[in-house]
């Protein structure tokens, strides 16, 4: 983690806050309304983005112990994660190599996995070790019928997997060094307090909201307040973005007193001020810090497309530095998480669903992203770029980004 980079970004926010300015894009950008409603484009997005790019499939604290596993379905691809005895996480295609029956469901802890259809048994690392009634089934080479593995990478307390077993795209290259900044959260040592899944609108409509501070004092006037900030400066590492409000003032975690950051040395700036705003991981993750239950917390929003163009699903993970212990702190943490559910479900996603229904009329040809909505402009630009990229072009696209991050 580079504290120098975090300080540099914070100084940028302080200077713009003091000057009452923000960084603006060069122009207003127009995106076809069909980008949100075209079923054929939606299927391309699932295929060329979600099925071939690395996805953040779980926070590390969801599988804290050896033997922990988690099954999930992403755009029709069944997979499961398994933490090994040595702490490594492996991602598997959740299909028995006999007939394709899913091996596991939900979450749990297991030293080995047995298919519930015919009883084929696999080691924790996916090796096939048992064929039921082998004398009747016939001779096969077990080493050639192990569970299929997906590329996987764990960093900064997050787990990524690519839903293409043959992918040549390096996950660290794809992250463009962004995960070294995410290490500042310290998530690898945090705990999972609670989680839930919400139904939402088209995945891009939903994701636009995570990249948009412009709407905060309007849509969220009854929850955050009408005087809430609506400006955000933008920082990027490849397609991954951080947006944060330009301000020279900050409130330390657990305090109601605002402090003037412009009067502090680099060493005096509080750590939580360095992590302000929303940190997004393309194409589907948002991380934002909160305070509840007597300590720091964060909500990690994990967004996936649904079965049709107007549907998405978001799993919200509320992670905390430590598991709250007192009744008061547990109640406070639940209240914070419940508040965030109301904001997203009843305000952001309810609005997104109405917006999608209106766009489906076909009577609006394009939507606008203003100069003050740079995050959305960049997001849609990357969607277009990645849809147009062939398989060979993906590795070439991200290798230079990683090289730049390492300099």
- Domains along the sequence of the chain with CATH: 3-53+177-406 (3.90.380.10), 58-155 (2.102.10.10)
Work out the mean pLDDT of the chain and round it to a whole number. 95
- 253: pLDDT strictly greater than 90: no
- 407: pLDDT strictly greater than 60: no
Q: What order do you get walking across the sheet with 55-59 strand by strand?
A: 55-59, 158-161, 152-155
- 132: pLDDT strictly greater than 60: yes
Q: Is the peptide bond before 102 cis (omega within 30 degrees of 0)?
A: no
Q: What does the pLDDT average to over 62-85? A: 98
- 68: pLDDT strictly greater than 90: yes
Q: What does the pLDDT average to over 87-115? A: 98
Q: pLDDT per residue over 166-206, tens digit each?
A: 999 999 999 999 999 999 999 999 999 999 999 999 999 99
Q: Please report which confidence band the pLDDT of residue 405 belongs to, taking 50, 70 and 90 as the band edges.
A: low
Q: Report the DSSP pairing between strands 278-281 and 285-292.
A: antiparallel
- 61: pLDDT strictly greater than 70: yes
- 404: pLDDT strictly greater than 80: no
Spatial distance between the Cα atoms of 81 and 62, rounded to a whole number of angstroms: 10
- 57: pLDDT strictly greater than 80: yes
Return the pLDDT at 235.
Answer: 97
22-36, 51-65, 89-103, 282-296: the lowest-pLDDT one: 282-296
- 406: pLDDT strictly greater than 80: no
Return the pLDDT at 262.
Answer: 96
User: Please, are residues 188 and 22 in contact by the beta-carbon 8 Å criterion?
Assistant: no
pLDDT above 70 covers a percentage of the chain that reads: 98
- 403: pLDDT strictly greater than 70: no
- 400: pLDDT strictly greater than 70: no
- 223: pLDDT strictly greater than 60: yes
Q: Please report which confidence band the pLDDT of residue 399 belongs to, taking 50, 70 and 90 as the band edges.
A: confident
Q: Please report which confidence band the pLDDT of residue 252 belongs to, taking 50, 70 and 90 as the band edges.
A: confident
Return the pLDDT at 1.
Answer: 53
Q: pLDDT per residue over 273-323, tens digit each?
A: 999 999 999 999 999 999 888 889 999 999 999 999 999 999 999 999 999
Angle, helix 374-388 to helix 203-210, in steps of 10 degrees? 140
Return the pLDDT at 292.
Answer: 85
The two three-digit tokens of residue 377, written as one number: 């402009």
pLDDT above 90 covers a percentage of the chain that reads: 92
Q: Please report which confidence band the pLDDT of residue 110 belongs to, taking 50, 70 and 90 as the band edges.
A: very high
Return the pLDDT at 332.
Answer: 94
- 396: pLDDT strictly greater than 60: yes
């Amino acid at each position: 983690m580079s504290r120098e980079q975090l300080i540099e970004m914070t100084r940028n926010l302080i200077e713009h806050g003091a000057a009452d300015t923000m960084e603006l894009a060069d122009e207003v950008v127009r995106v076809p309304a069909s980008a949100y409603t075209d079923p054929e484009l939606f299927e391309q997005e699932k295929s060329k983005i979600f099925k071939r790019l690395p996805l953040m499939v779980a926070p590390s604290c969801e599988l804290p112990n050896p033997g922990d596993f988690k099954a999930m379905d992403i755009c029709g691809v069944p997979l499961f994660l398994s933490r090994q005895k040595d702490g490594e996480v492996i991602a598997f295609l959740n299909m028995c190599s006999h007939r394709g029956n899913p091996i596991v469901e939900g979450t749990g802890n297991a030293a080995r996995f047995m298919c519930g259809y015919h009883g084929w048994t696999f080691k924790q690392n996916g090796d096939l070790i048992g064929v039921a009634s082998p004398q009747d089934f016939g001779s096969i080479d077990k080493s050639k019928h192990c569970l299929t593995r997906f590329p996987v990478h764990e960093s900064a307390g997050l787990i990524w997997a690519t839903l293409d077993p043959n992918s040549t795209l390096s996950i660290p290259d794809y992250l463009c060094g962004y995960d070294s900044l995410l290490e500042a959260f310290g998530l690898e040592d945090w705990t999972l307090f609670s989680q839930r899944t919400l139904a939402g609108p088209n995945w891009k409509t939903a994701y636009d909201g995570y990249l948009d501070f412009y709407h905060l004092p309007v849509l969220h006037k009854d929850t955050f307040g009408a005087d809430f900030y609506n400006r955000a400066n933008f920082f990027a590492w490849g397609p991954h973005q951080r947006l944060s409000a330009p301000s020279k003032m900050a409130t330390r975690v657990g305090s109601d007193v605002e402090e003037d950051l412009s009067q502090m040395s680099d060493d005096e700036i509080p750590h939580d001020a360095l992590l302000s705003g929303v940190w997004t991981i393309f194409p589907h993750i948002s991380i934002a810090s909160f305070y509840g239950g007597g300590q720091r917390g964060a909500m990690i929003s994990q967004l996936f497309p649904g079965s049709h163009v107007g549907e998405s699903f978001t799993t919200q993970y509320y992670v905390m530095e430590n598991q709250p212990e007192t009744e008061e702190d547990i109640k406070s943490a639940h209240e914070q998480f419940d508040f965030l559910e109301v904001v997203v479900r009843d305000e952001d996603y309810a609005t997104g669903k109405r917006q999608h229904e209106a766009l489906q009329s076909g009577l609006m040809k394009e939507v606008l992203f203003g100069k003050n909505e740079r995050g959305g402009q960049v997001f849609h630009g990357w969607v277009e770029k990645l849809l147009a990229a062939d398989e060979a072009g993906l590795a070439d696209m991200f290798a230079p980004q990683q090289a730049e991050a390492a300099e």
